Amino acid sequence: MFDPRDPYERYYWHYESRRPLSVAQIIALQSVDVETAALVWLLLEHGASLTVAGPTDPQPGVGKTTTLNALLQFLPEGTALAYMSGMYENFAFTQLSDIDPAQTYALCNEVSDHLPIYMWGRVARRYLSLPGRGYHVATSVHADTIDDVMRMYRRDLRLAAEDIRRLGLVVNIGLVGRTYPARRRWFTTHFIKPFAEADQQDKVVPIPLSLWNQFDDTFVHADESIMNDLASWIGMTPQDFNTALKLRTEKLRELAQGSGATLQEMYDAVDELRCHEKPA
């Protein structure tokens, strides 16, 4: 059975990439801009679940695993990771008395039917329903667009609308151009609206936070009203939200200089910022 403490097994089970990168290094490679990454940082830090989606055409080296691992650095302080065992997962960790769901992220290498080490069908449905029990989830999927992600969750896996609304962030990434080495971009970043309107209980609404503009290779960001909604959804005032976002944007801009800070340098910087924000 899978032992996440073993680096070889993490690689074999597709939990590790060949070339791990920090978010700062991903920014330095221009895959995403500092504003988008800072916003994702803040939302993850407040317990958002995460889906990283890549192309349905299984191109090697797209970067789903690399992106997912890099973003784990932004999980809340004190978070415990529960590694899933694909179709063999029995969810025994949910029965442990010393597990706090609110401080636990269930990490799945991929939700797909490609390999037994991934999750699909009944097992995937149970996994993606964990946020309804207070847990958080982080996983990757094969899907070209946000609509494809929603179709997979809604039609293929038959998740209830209320379960999908708890899945938080969805980042769609992919390759652009035909040059070598390949250029990667975060095509879209969405946050699934966590609440339904009274007369639309079956409706799921992904809110666009960042969209890549292929014509000038820039990113278009959400407006102030969406930012205010995000602040409310994660329990912050707009003023505190904007202050925290600005700090993270400035920190990432600093860390992304040159080739970008390493994974360890990123960990240290995140810890330093959090210590700075703690009340005296």
Q: Does 240 map to a domain?
A: no
Which two tokens mark 50?
A: 């995460």
In a domain, 126, yes or no: yes
- Domain around 82: 48-230
199 occurs within a structural domain? yes
Is 43 within a domain? no
Separation between Cα atoms, residue 263 and residue 14, nearest integer Å? 19
pLDDT at residue number 57: 75
Asked if residue 138 belongs to a domain, the reply is yes
Domain harbouring 95, CATH code: 3.40.50.300
Q: Give me the pLDDT at residue 59, please.
A: 63
Domains identified in the chain, total number: 1
Q: What is the pLDDT along the chain (280 residues), one digit of tens a residue?
A: 678 888 888 888 888 888 899 999 999 999 999 999 999 999 999 999 999 999 987 666 688 999 999 999 999 999 999 999 999 999 999 999 899 999 999 999 999 998 899 999 999 999 999 999 999 999 999 999 999 999 999 999 999 999 999 999 999 999 987 766 778 999 999 999 999 887 788 899 999 999 999 999 999 999 999 999 999 999 999 999 999 999 999 999 999 999 999 999 999 999 999 998 887 6
Smallest CA-to-CA distance from 150 within 188, 104, 109 is with: 188
Q: Is residue 22 part of a domain?
A: no
Predicted pLDDT of residue 58 = 60
